Amino acid sequence: MVALLEWWSGTECTLYTDPASYPFYGKEDAIVVLNHNFEIDFLCGWTFCERFGVLGSSKVLAKKELAYVPVIGWMWYFLEIVFCKRKWEEDQKTVVQSLQRLKDYPENFWFLLYCEGTRFTQKKHKISMEVAERKGLPKLKYHLLPRTKGFCVTVQHLRGKVCVSSVVTAVYDSTLNFRNNQTPTLLGILNGKKYHADLYVRRIPLDSIPENESECAIWLHKLYQEKDELQEKYSVTGRFPGPTLSPPRRPWALLNWLFWICLLLFPLCLLLLQLFHSGSAFTICTTVLLCFAASLGVRWMIGQTEINRGSSYGNKEGQLNNNAQVSKVTNKDSRTTKTSAACTAGIKNNHEQFSTKQEGNTQLDQDTGSCSC
Ligand SMILES: CCCCC/C=C\C/C=C\CCCCCCCC(=O)SCCNC(=O)CCNC(=O)[C@H](O)C(C)(C)COP(=O)(O)OP(=O)(O)OC[C@H]1O[C@@H](n2cnc3c(N)ncnc32)[C@H](O)[C@@H]1OP(=O)(O)O
Ligand SMILES: CCCCCCCCCCCCCCCCCC(=O)OC[C@@H](O)COP(=O)(O)O
């Protein structure tokens, strides 16, 4: 996939970073915090990993659903990718266990965290800003409100310990944009469309991030406010501040791709040709059906990257947030708690009735939810 981006579509990637931080990239374990607005942002992430020699040890806190994507998901499972259900009560134990395992990782790794937890849509943004308002946090224009639990637990568990081989020394605050308001897609890449990615990376030593959970959460919210200001600058000027450095693309991804093409695709084509020449009508029909099913499968996999087919996570503010509110308000005022609990129950009901991944239908949940609130 990296070869497709770099060599097939010829997409260019420019890095904006402080030259003093540059020598550290690829030479230390790091936590990467990235904005989540584009369908191919993970692919651009991989490209940079490749250029700094850490592609094989690029890790991520990924949603569990991706573990079931054929080939890619299975590969991630074996690469010790950390999966989460995005339900903290269920994730807490497994995420901590996976992070503990990463501590023994023998090579330098980058652990990617999309703290927004889901990709940016107008609707998710609106809901998340309502949450921000309720929490008394400043509104963000270009980001969703970050979910702090995953970040804080990662910082806590990957923080330096003398007795382990892997010591995370920094957080890379990264912001990705595409030139000229391009909205790149995987299908675009497959069609050979060229994009231009700009990535801004700021290296923040891990020591400067508070260890305490609530202070760490405040720190992350502040970071996202700064990221938002940076995005504002980019949207006005069309570039990030500071010097640019473009690490050159390397031939390995292409060579790897060519190797597999020769080994697999060439004999496969020969086999198909032979089959069409000498096979029975039944064999030919079965083969055509199999090819059709395989192409549908690949199309489904590509669909996993499409934002308009994304999950409903972050669309259901009512449910998540009122749950949180119930526990918070309980201590203060039992009458309010009842109202909040009733509200939660009402919304849960609505979710059961209208539960769907489609944005339009989820709107119904939200409409009803906010009315009863
Ligand atoms: C430099 C180059 C880049 C290098 C690239 C390196 C590596 C590349 C490697 C691989 C690439 C592969 C790419 C694959 C991509 C796959 C990515 C994903 O799958 S992203 C989705 C999964 N990941 C995450 O969600 C991570 C972030 N989330 C978290 O950390 C969460 O905390 C969690 C651990 C998942 C737990 O989730 P939960 O929902 O239970 O979270 P929280 O408890 O944190 O949230 C509740 C909290 O949020 C408030 N709330 C409610 N509604 C909203 C809302 N709509 N918006 C914001 N906040 C909301 C709610 O009030 C609660 O608040 P509080 O805690 O105060 O009570
Ligand atoms: C030569 C022929 C080439 C054929 C190429 C076929 C390529 C098929 C590739 C399929 C790749 C599938 C990888 C899926 C990675 C998607 C990562 C992603 O962006 O996940 C989104 C989550 O973060 C958040 O999810 P949402 O809550 O927004 O929903």
Q: Is pLDDT at 360 greater than 50 in this prediction? A: no
- The answer to whether the CB of 324 is under 6 A from ligand 2 is no
- The answer to whether the CB of 73 is under 6 A from ligand 2 is no
Q: Mean pLDDT of all residues in the chain?
A: 85
Q: Of all protein residues, whose CA lies closest to atom 43 belonging to ligand 1?
A: 88
Q: How far apart are CA 304 and CA 300, in angstroms?
A: 7
**Percent of the chain, pLDDT > 90?**
73
Identify the band that residue 327 occupies on the pLDDT scale cut at 50, 70 and 90.
very low
Give the residue ranges of DSSP H helices in the chain.
2-3, 41-51, 72-78, 88-102, 122-135, 148-158, 186-190, 213-237, 252-260, 266-278, 281-303, 317-330, 334-354, 359-372
Q: Is pLDDT at 118 greater than 50 in this prediction? A: yes
Q: Is pLDDT at 373 greater than 50 in this prediction? A: no
- The answer to whether the CB of 113 is under 6 A from ligand 1 is yes
Choose one of 25, 80, 113, 149 to mutate for the ligand 1 pocket test, by most ligand atoms within 8 angstroms of C-beta.
149
**Percent of the chain, pLDDT > 70?**
83
The predicted pLDDT at position 119 comes to 97
- The answer to whether the CB of 119 is under 6 A from ligand 1 is no
So what's the ipTM on this one? 0.93
- Can you say whether residue 171 is alpha, beta or left, with left for phi > 0 and alpha for psi between -120 and 50 degrees? beta
Query: How close is the Cα of 288 to the center of ligand 1, in Å?
Result: 42
Identify the band that residue 348 occupies on the pLDDT scale cut at 50, 70 and 90.
very low
Q: Rounded to 5 degrees, what are φ and ψ at 174?
A: -120, 140
- The answer to whether the CB of 84 is under 6 A from ligand 1 is yes
Choose one of 55, 81, 320 to mutate for the ligand 1 pocket test, by most ligand atoms within 8 angstroms of C-beta.
320
Query: How close is the Cα of 359 to the center of ligand 2, in Å?
Result: 20
- DSSP string for residues in 55-108: GGGEEEEEEGGGGGSTTHHHHHHHTT-EEE-S-HHHHHHHHHHHHHHHTT-SS-
- The answer to whether the CB of 29 is under 6 A from ligand 1 is no
Q: How far apart are CA 123 and CA 136, in angstroms?
A: 20
- The answer to whether the CB of 67 is under 6 A from ligand 2 is no
Ligand 1 atom index nearest CA of 113: 26
What would the pLDDT profile of 175-205 be if each residue is shown by its tens digit? 999 999 999 999 999 999 999 999 999 999 9
User: Cα separations (Å) of 316 from 1, 81, 105, 132, 351?
Assistant: 33, 27, 37, 14, 9
Average pLDDT over residues 47-66: 96
Identify the band that residue 276 occupies on the pLDDT scale cut at 50, 70 and 90.
confident
The predicted pLDDT at position 328 comes to 41
Average pLDDT over residues 350-363: 34
Q: Of 249 and 339, which is predicted with more confidence?
A: 249
The predicted pLDDT at position 80 comes to 87
Question: Are the C-beta atoms of residues 255 and 263 closer than 8 Å to each other?
Answer: no
- DSSP string for residues in 89-157: HHHHHHHHHHHHHHTT-SS--EEEE-TT-S---HHHHHHHHHHHHHHTPPP-SSSPPPPHHHHHHHHHH
- The answer to whether the CB of 307 is under 6 A from ligand 1 is no
Q: Is pLDDT at 142 greater than 80 in this prediction? A: yes
Ligand 2 atom index nearest CA of 301: 10
What would the pLDDT profile of 316-325 be if each residue is shown by its tens digit? 755 554 444 4
The predicted pLDDT at position 14 comes to 95
Question: Are the C-beta atoms of residues 220 and 146 closer than 8 Å to each other?
Answer: yes
Q: Is pLDDT at 62 greater than 50 in this prediction? A: yes
Ligand 2 atom index nearest CA of 310: 29
pTM of the model: 0.85
Question: Are the C-beta atoms of residues 61 and 150 closer than 8 Å to each other?
Answer: yes
What would the pLDDT profile of 4-47 be if each residue is shown by its tens digit? 999 999 999 999 999 999 999 999 999 999 999 999 999 999 99
The predicted pLDDT at position 370 comes to 34
- The answer to whether the CB of 61 is under 6 A from ligand 1 is yes
Q: Of 359 and 229, which is predicted with more confidence?
A: 229
The predicted pLDDT at position 280 comes to 86
**Which of the 8 DSSP states describes residue 310?**
-
- The answer to whether the CB of 310 is under 6 A from ligand 2 is yes
Q: Is pLDDT at 145 greater than 70 in this prediction? A: yes
